[in-house]
Amino acid sequence: MPTPAEQVARLRRELNRHNHLYYVMNAPEISDRDFDMMLKELETLERNHPELDDPLSPTHRVGSDINTSFQQAAHVRPMLSLANTYSIEEVDKWVTGVRNALESDDIVIDGEMKFDGTSISLIYENGRLVRAVTRGDGTQGDVVTENIKTIRSIPLEIPAETGRPDNFEIRGEILLPWEAFERLNRDREANDEPLFANPRNAAAGTLKLQNSAEAASRGLDAYFYYVLSDSLPADTHFDNLRAAASWGFKITPVLKRLHSIDEVDEFINHWDIERKKLPVATDGLVFKVNSLRQQLNLGFTAKSPRWAIAYKFPAERALTRLRFVSFEVGRMGIVTPVANLEPVLLSGTIVKRASLHNEDIIRKLDIHEGDMLYVEKGGEIIPKITGVDIKSRPEGAAPVKFVTVCPACGTPLIKIEGEAATECPNKYGCPPQIIGRIEHFAARRMMNIDGIGEETARQLYDTGLVRSSADIYSLTADSLLTLDGFGPRSAQRVIEGAEESKKVPFARVIYALSIPFVGETVSKKIAKAVGNIDRLMTISTDELTAIDDIGIAIAESITDYFADPRNRENVERLRAAGLCMEAEQADSEGGSDTLAGQSIVISGTFTHHSRDEYKALIELHGGKNVGSISKKTTAILAGENVGPSKLEKANSLGIPLLSEDDFLRKIGLDS
């Protein structure tokens, strides 16, 4: 019978192989269920034999909830940018220049796709991924290894039998496929969060998430285009990329050797159209001299290699007339101007509307009534107004003016200090805000009450049946039957959904309340830190800012929300209806009052436990974790690299520093 170590090794090999078949080759051999069962078997073995755990195991692909700040690392070889052009003639001129510089016509040019993502450098030692670094400033970048490990198309280990070098670097682009991008924006729109303008921004933002578990959920992908090593398998770029594909990397699907200027031009014209069928965003093509020896002879300028050039596709743009600007109010009261356009075909879709975002954008573009507007998509899926054709402006057309009162309730609008946004302050009397909160409360990722969407929320409000989220739990099947489109079954579905929602965990209840700035991730952190609704309703801003990723704006938003008696009343009605108002408590065995009455600041990095675990330990033993040092601070739990300003303030106030080991001994735990 195989040993546990042999079983673990076999399962890891098989899971890595199936990951590659599914995410890189698009040729799965087993069902998702079979894969999950195999993964669970490996998880069980690793749990029972912790000495066999490996950070590169397939079980670690889901990421971690531990927060870490990014470190910087220098690139072994600088990541230079490419010279680029929007002109086919300039590309032809570059090819001619390369031939002249090498004094040869015997030159092969590799044509490949330029993906519109965020650049990454992966370092492998003895076939294992050891570091992933963003491009940064080209000299150094952020280390994002944990988030990169969650991307299933990237091999974490490469067997020696594949022929890979012992040590090598491979560079590529991290991308968010169109399908994942659209799903992410749908979720953000439902949460009244700003939409990502394009997959590139979304991919870059995801790479910088502190929570790798959240990064894992977004569905990043990666394509690779450049291999560097002191022992490359081939002396041509083309063959090295093909070798990288055999090691398990997803390389550009667009890779062709070109032998003449005519072939280069044909390649550009072909992919200008065909690229739209690819599952990821692209913004151009890259041309490279194939021979590494010729690359070496051509060398570099101060900013870019002479042996490569990027051709950028021009953004797709259309000119259409502005019909009118509407002003729409979201559930948080933000008023957004929307350009309503004469329908125009752009990137395969009919565009009728485009957000103008805020008053500043309208002024910057100097939009007048009836203007002919330039609309672009390019690599962006969201239509964007980029300019005005002033020559076509109707004579005497007046500038578009931002409204000064709410278009829904007539309340004078206010400009949010320090921001471009304009807000309707009538939170509890403005219909779109109330309807938006009702819809948000019932949505899938909040309370998941089936049958209450945008239209139903509007009907419930208009008929007076629901004016706050707590009213949902007073609905009856008979009252719902008075609404258009409702029959016995659909009415019963809402009632059953409301009853089932009473099982929704506390974190999602917080999220459902529509507290400004409190999205899904923040709600989870708050629920874990505060434990129950009573503490949340009375917590101070100082205590809130002590929670990871909770800044002063979020903290003040929470305290302001619960300072309003209308919100507190709604919460009490929700509690009376039976909603979950307390987080699932971890086993409190081993707790004590050792730290009772003590306020402790956590600072630095730690070896034995994460910061979140230390916060939980402080609370478990009766103490309070606070985010800033004051005269009331009892001690500082000091790890490595405590900030100099905190040390100085602690010394000036005579506040003692507890080392990690001292703290653990104090609460009766061995380090």
Hey, which residues are catalytic here? 114
Which single residue is written with the structure tokens 């009538």? Answer: 426
Which 8-state DSSP code applies to residue 127?
T
Task: Name the residue type at position 379.
Answer: G
Give Cα 507 distance to the centre of its chain: 20
Distance CA 97, CA 65 (A): 52
Distance CA 157, CA 125 (A): 10
Task: Name the residue type at position 462.
Answer: D
Distance CA 171, CA 228 (A): 8
- The angle formed by the CA atoms of residues 644, 645 and 651, to the nearest 5 degrees, is 90
Report yes or no: 49 and 8 within 8 Å, Cβ to Cβ. yes
Which residues on neighbouring strands pair with residue 444, listed in sequence order? Answer: none
Integer-rounded Cα Rg, in Å, for the chain is: 29
- Whole-number Cα distances in Å, 99 to 82, 95, 206, 309, 664: 19, 6, 42, 14, 69
> CB burial class (10 A; 0-12, 13-18, 19+) of residue 249?
buried
Q: In what order do the strands lie in the sheet with 255-258?
A: 84-85, 308-312, 282-289, 109-115, 255-258
Give Cα 126 distance to the centre of its chain: 31
Report yes or no: 663 and 584 within 8 Å, Cβ to Cβ. no
Which residues on neighbouring strands pair with residue 311, listed in sequence order? Answer: 85, 285
- The angle formed by the CA atoms of residues 266, 267 and 273, to the nearest 5 degrees, is 95
Report yes or no: 354 and 341 within 8 Å, Cβ to Cβ. yes
What are the structure tokens assigned to 17, written together? 């192989």
> CB burial class (10 A; 0-12, 13-18, 19+) of residue 118?
buried
